[in-house]
């Protein structure tokens, strides 16, 4: 296994971890409860924004990992 494939695999692993962290941040920043028949919804906008940034970075890292894995050596 050469170095470019190793770097590509590492990028994909980091992308999966970043995506997992981002999705958890998005899920944790929104809470909803029912109180006496009323729905109360609370959300943390900065937490959501940070989660979406993690997910965006994960998409870019994953694409970079796939590109690096498929790149042919000249």
Q: How far is CA 12 from CA 24, 32, 37, 61, in A?
A: 18, 33, 45, 7
pLDDT in tens, the chain (74 residues): 688 889 999 999 999 999 999 999 988 888 777 877 788 777 778 888 999 999 999 999 999 999 998 877 66
In the chain, alpha helices (H): 3-28, 45-70
């Amino acid at each position: 296994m050469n170095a470019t494939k190793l770097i590509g695999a590492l990028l994909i692993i980091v992308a999966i971890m970043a995506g997992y962290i981002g999705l958890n941040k998005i899920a944790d920043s929104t809470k909803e409860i029912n109180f006496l028949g009323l729905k109360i919804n609370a959300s943390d906008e900065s937490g959501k924004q940070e989660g979406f940034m993690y997910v965006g970075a994960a998409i870019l890292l994953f694409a970079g990992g796939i590109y690096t894995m498929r790149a042919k050596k000249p």
